[in-house]
Structure 1
Amino acid sequence: MCERTGKICPGPPEGPLIVDMTAKAQTGMRRRYKAVSKSSPGSINIKACRFDSVSLMPTATTTSFFENFLGFFTTDGEGKDIRNRLTWLQRIPQLVSSRSDRALVLALEATATAYGGIMSSNTNLTHKAHELYGTALHAHQAVLQQRGSSNDIAVHLVSTSVMLSFFEAMQATTADAYRAHIYGAARLFEVTGPGECGFGVLCQLFYHVRTQMLFVKIATCSYLVPLSAKKILRDTLLYEDPPMIQQLMCCITALHDLQASNTEVSGLRVHNLVALQSTVEELWREYTSRKGTDHAAKTVSFVDAFTALTSAYFSAARILLGVSSSGRSHRLSAVDLFEGWTKRSMPGISALALDAISRRNLAN
């Protein structure tokens, strides 16, 4: 620098180097104060964030919000698997604008506000989300009592129950609330009119509820499953080519029923297990051929959440095959799976599973 400026170099400084930045710092602080005062977390206008006021928001903000919100709850695989161009969540604005039902609007406001509170660590938004959630519950209950067995707005009622379950997934109010919303949505399918399946919305809701119900059933065996829920778990819609994960749901449901029955080994039971194992393996071969899964890799990575979910359900099917079978090889296969997981990301639940298998072996 000295050569460029034509000055004599004084050599390295012996003391601290002090540079006066007061003027620049004052200017920067004034700019920062203005920016903070406009976007302070304590001064967020909740009313401006309401779903029915979303048109007042800038287009870029609205687009960004829905991309993040929908991306958190949906995946590309979910839409592609049933050949719908949009997911049911992306159809919600149209559903809301076409009906006067406020319960769905409030449920979406509550869920979106809870999501915003979590992502921004804003306690004000979290408290507001709980207030909106309570209001949405009352509105939903009022609509249910008013409609009774009518099927006029069944698709909106199902959407509201599922949206409220999303809230419980993020901000659980009770241990049983998530299950109650999912089972409530299942019961509403009984009164759904034939004209409600516009743009495949109801079909997607059916598959979503079915997938979550199976998770609840496996995770909470002590709960009694309503008759409508059992029907949804065992049946599928009349699709020419049902999504692969839904075909897998049928296998897991049948396996869970066999495992829960705890009956003596019979020729029919063994025959059913062999048939189910063959179906699961055939589905797995088809799935891996589509995805190009690398079986040699020691670490498992997934391109999206839907792929991870599908793989998890395949693992659940293999585990149920192992613990339901009387054959030693199947049980050892289940043990190998859990022992592998104890060394990875699920040591706690795997230890419980290994203990359950051990107790079952002693009982037999």
Structure 2
Amino acid sequence: MIGLTGLSRSQLIIALAVIAGFFVFPLYAGAFRTDQLGLFLCYVMFALSLDLIWGFTGILSLGNAIYFGGGAYFIGLALKLQYAATHATRYGEGAIPDFMTWNGLTEIPRWMRPLRNVWFAAPAGVLAMGFLAFVFGVITFKRHIYGVYCAVITLAESLIFEELIIEKQAYTGGFNGITDYDSYSGSLHFYWVILAVTVFFFWLSRKLTTTHFGMVLRSIRENELRSEFFGFEVANYKIFVFTVAAMMSAVAGGLYAALNGIVSHQDIGPILSIEGVIWVAVGGRGTLIGSMVGAILVKGAQSLLSEQFAWIWDLLVGFMFILIIVLMPDGIMGALLRRARRRRAIAAGRMPAYEAARIEETPTT
């Protein structure tokens, strides 16, 4: 039986158990591990946004970190401006951030002053990133640019924005980024806020992908021209989902900046975007849960291996990624779903075991 959540009873029980596990974890783990898991959840939200556009719609974006990093910079700047105002004599300067003083500025630029209020900066960052994604979508999707061309354009866009962040160091901190502000590290309540937002984004993603809208997204992914033939405004669907994904990424980036205590150009560059694609591929694109599993698995492996094998941890993570892709081309969740479908087919007697085995050859959608 499928309830209002879109999950069966067994799936709902599993989901509630997982949420309870994430809720209880900080009560037994230290502050460091709790903060680490909070950062992983921010990456989970970023992976969910990528799964929406790539896994369900077929838009391979190598520049989605622009929106994650954009949201992070809005919050990082807001917290830095607040910190500077309360520590005005730390370096002998007035109530402006240290990186502005080092670059010859004597006052906060007029256009940046509203960001001193974090409650303004948070929604402003999300809306700004949504508007940027909307403009990009109109320019790209209305011109029927898709596939590898879209990937190349988003990659170039990411490189441009990263270079702008580095060049405009008087306003962004440049290569060093934005540091030394009061973060929410060690705050149990803030961790629970991140967890609540993650659960909400998963619910929202489920709603978008399990309705008629989600069926249209899948049809666009499988055959864009055929979807247009049946009368769907493909460009409008792609623009909408791309904008929603960008705003989700911006929220994730803002929470990340507030918890991490540092924002750098790497948070807006192509490396993070490519890592996100890897997380979705490892977990299984087009499954939502797979992208979440992939993000936590890869980031968790990076963290643990870097602690134990500091000199070769990146090679070990790369080997793990190659092994998973070779053995499970549809990702971890894709492989599990194929096996579950085969077992249900055999148990129901709809087909013999040798025929049901062919299900494993069918890609998971």
Shorter chain as normaliser: what TM range? under 0.3
Greater CA radius of gyration, 1 or 2?
Answer: 1
TM-score between the two structures when normalised by the length of structure 1 = 0.23
Relative contact order: is structure 1 or structure 2 higher (C-alpha 8 Å, sep ≥ 6)? 2
